[in-house]
Amino acid sequence: MKIKHEKTQIYYDEEGDMLEIIIGKPTISYMKNLGGEMFVRIDEKTGKTKGFLILGFKKRCEKNAVNIPLPTNLELTA
């Protein structure tokens, strides 16, 4: 099985307190609500995960410290 590594982008909007993780090149996709103001972006054709969106990210981090050294490699497995 060959695993393709795709470019991952991490974007934080401080004003909107929103964290978005984008996997690979943009494609036509839809957002699926996971509950708790968290969403997953799904490619319409392939059904593959193309990203994540977390609302209220800073508020969540105040309770549980998050320390991610950058740059970082992100590997997602199903």
Phi, psi angles (nearest 5°) of residue 61: -70, -25
Higher pLDDT, residue 67 or 15: 15
Question: What's the predicted TM-score (pTM) here?
Answer: 0.69
Q: What is the pLDDT of residue 70?
A: 52
Domain parsing of the chain, residue ranges: 8-63
How does residue 6 score in pLDDT terms, banded at 50, 70 and 90?
A: confident
Kindly report the number of other CB atoms within 10 A of residue 7's CB atom.
8
Average per-residue pLDDT for the chain: 81
Rounded average pLDDT over 55-63? 80
- Residue type (1 letter), 46: T
